[in-house]
Amino acid sequence: MSGARATIVDVSALDDLDASRVGGAGRARRIELAAFLRARRAEVTPGDVGLPPGVRRRTPGLRREEVALLAGVGVTWYTWLEQGRPINVSGQVLDAISRALGLAPAEREHLYRLAEATPLRTPEPAAGIPATARDVLHALPLPAALTNARLDILDHNAAHADLFWDWHTMPCIHKNLLWCVITEPTARDRFLNYDTEIPFLVARLRAGYGAHVGELDWEENIARLQRLSPEFQRLWSRHEVAQPERRVRVFRHPEAGELRLVAIELAVGGHPDLRIVVSSPDDEDTRQRLHLIEGAARRAGFVTGRPGHESFSAL
């Protein structure tokens, strides 16, 4: 399985911004973009995003390759962006960089304007989700998450947080079901029927893709997954599609032991891309074991709002 690793290349030979190559307002905007990214990167420590401190650092904050790793982009590409080079940036990549750097809404908007990315989108979890769907989600006693056709994780309830709060060994930046699993190095150790369930999830993504072919965010998401994960690339090339069906997923939980959970997808009326994915016990033993982890996220001192720590896997 491919881990969440961005390809690190030697960028020591790359010069900083050559202002003469960019003209007029575009030149000034890219210079400002470069300075803004460097300043924000300097304010985020490895501990803020769940990374080890590592060896002695020449500069404060994160390294360029660490931001690239967290955002799932190439180090060379991110270096060019931070140097103000004239490259095109999609909204999804800007969102990933925003999350990696823990940008506030005003900072995220500023980043979009400097990068000349249009339209300026609001984060998807805040837009287009009916309040009734959130009410149902948070009223459910079983672990449940709200996802869309691209398998983005839009919201989750407290039981889901208890089940998956410690899933990641790397910070969760992408808030996407496949990213949470395919790029997590320990996933196979904890997701016991990984090899049968991941092909199904990729087939579900392919089925959703049919209604969104050519859309920039979809195309960029799939391209980045293929670059980072040969496993995803191989599965995606099969062109398999699947519709919702009863699936038993088996997890090894550090506190509760082996859990057998049935994944049930509930459609959200009037919103064909939205699903509430509920994890229901497949047997009485699992039902009893789930009680062992009630309040686990709260007991562990889980705090929302920290960069990289505001989302869980949505399996």
The whole-number pLDDT of residue 13 equals 33
Contacts of 80 (CB under 8 A, 6+ apart): 14, 87
Strand order in the sheet with 153-156: 153-156, 144-147, 271-281, 257-268, 247-253
Classify residue 193: in a domain, yes or no. Answer: yes
The whole-number pLDDT of residue 8 equals 32
152 and 248 co-located in one domain: yes
160 and 277 co-located in one domain: yes
Q: Is the pLDDT of residue 24 over 80?
A: no
186 and 259 co-located in one domain: yes
CATH number at residue 25: 1.10.260.40
The whole-number pLDDT of residue 128 equals 65
57 and 199 co-located in one domain: no
98 and 177 co-located in one domain: no
The whole-number pLDDT of residue 237 equals 92
The whole-number pLDDT of residue 155 equals 92
Q: Is the pLDDT of residue 274 over 50?
A: yes
Other Cβ atoms closer than 10 A to 236:
18
291 and 150 co-located in one domain: yes
137 and 275 co-located in one domain: yes
Of the spans 21-30, 108-117, 267-276, 282-291, which averages the highest pLDDT? 282-291
What distance in Å separates the CA atoms of residue 45 and residue 10, rounded to the nearest whole number? Answer: 23
Q: Is the pLDDT of residue 264 over 60?
A: yes
Residue 222: strand, helix, or coil = helix
185 and 45 co-located in one domain: no
Higher-scoring residue by pLDDT: 268, 166: 268
Classify residue 306: in a domain, yes or no. Answer: no
Classify residue 304: in a domain, yes or no. Answer: no
110 and 136 co-located in one domain: no
Q: What is the DSSP letter of 299?
A: H
Model pLDDT for residues 139-196, shown as the tens digit of each residue:
999 999 999 999 999 999 999 999 988 888 776 677 899 988 998 889 999 999 999 9
252 and 164 co-located in one domain: yes
Classify residue 87: in a domain, yes or no. Answer: yes
pTM higher than 0.75? no
What distance in Å separates the CA atoms of residue 146 and residue 268, rounded to the nearest whole number? Answer: 9
Structural domains in the chain (count): 2
Classify residue 76: in a domain, yes or no. Answer: yes
Lowest mean pLDDT among 92-106, 222-236, 283-297: 92-106
What is the mean pLDDT of the segment spanning 222-248?
A: 91
Token code pair at residue 264: 């049930």
Higher-scoring residue by pLDDT: 253, 17: 253
What is the mean pLDDT of the segment spanning 126-147?
A: 87
Classify residue 184: in a domain, yes or no. Answer: yes
Classify residue 107: in a domain, yes or no. Answer: yes
What is the mean pLDDT of the segment spanning 221-226?
A: 88
CATH number at residue 240: 3.30.450.180
The whole-number pLDDT of residue 16 equals 41
Confidence grade of residue 231 (pLDDT, cut at 50, 70, 90): very high
What distance in Å separates the CA atoms of residue 51 and residue 102, rounded to the nearest whole number? Answer: 14
The whole-number pLDDT of residue 247 equals 94
Lowest mean pLDDT among 22-31, 96-105, 153-162, 186-195: 22-31
Q: Is the pLDDT of residue 14 over 80?
A: no
179 and 281 co-located in one domain: yes
Mean pLDDT of the chain: 80
The whole-number pLDDT of residue 51 equals 78
134 and 89 co-located in one domain: no
Picking from 56, 81, 114, the residue at the C-terminal end of a domain is: 114
Classify residue 7: in a domain, yes or no. Answer: no
Domain that holds residue 288: 128-299
The whole-number pLDDT of residue 117 equals 63
Confidence grade of residue 301 (pLDDT, cut at 50, 70, 90): low
Token code pair at residue 135: 């009410």
What is the mean pLDDT of the segment spanning 81-97?
A: 83
The whole-number pLDDT of residue 73 equals 85
